[in-house]
Structure 1
Amino acid sequence: MAEQLISALATEWDPESFRDTFQEKVTALIEAKKTGESVEKAEPPAKATGAVDLMEALRASVERARSPKSTGEKATTAASPQKKKAAPAKKRISSKGSTLQSLTKAELYY
């Protein structure tokens, strides 16, 4: 299956159809400096506008979940806006007669 995928995506590579534009620009800059022309610095690249800073979005989400006072509502998650059921009370396990094998799965989690 992998061989079929590779053969389907493979094409003939013609190195003559590609140009090294970086090397061309560097060569042009060197020639300009040799002749005494002034070379201006390139403009800094523009900031990306479409990408989202995931760490900042996560921090903001955690902060919103931690501080329900600012909105006057209880903090909820987007996946489950309904009220959560109260967790069952934790049982104390005495060390004398109880073993872990007698407990249910839910009891073991608490």
Structure 2
Amino acid sequence: MTFSAQAPAEPIGAVDLMKALRAGVERAASPKETGGKASSFFGKTSATAKPSAKKRIRSAPKEDLSGLSKADLYKKAAAANLHGRSQMTRDDLVKALAAHL
């Protein structure tokens, strides 16, 4: 078997990846044909954009502690690791648990 050498193919121009990335980012940030405002890389429309509203976290409904016995209140206070619970009256336990929960 004989192999013949072929002439090397003409070199292909290498793609500059950073140049392509910059061009893509610029296209994404430029105003659209519809005339709308350009959005930046992070999706904000401008430096004077109105900040988004904070999401409210709903708290669990407060448990009605007034109907519980002192023993039940003490168990809840122990589970909540309230200090001084052994010296508290029933009303003190209700107040302390309500403040803690």
Q: What TM-score do you get using the length of structure 2 for normalisation?
A: 0.28
Q: Which has the larger radius of gyration?
A: 2
Bigger RCO of structures 1 and 2 (CA < 8 A, at least 6 apart): 2
Q: If each structure's helix is expressed as a fraction of its own residues, which one has the higher value?
A: 1
Q: What TM-score do you get using the length of structure 1 for normalisation?
A: 0.26
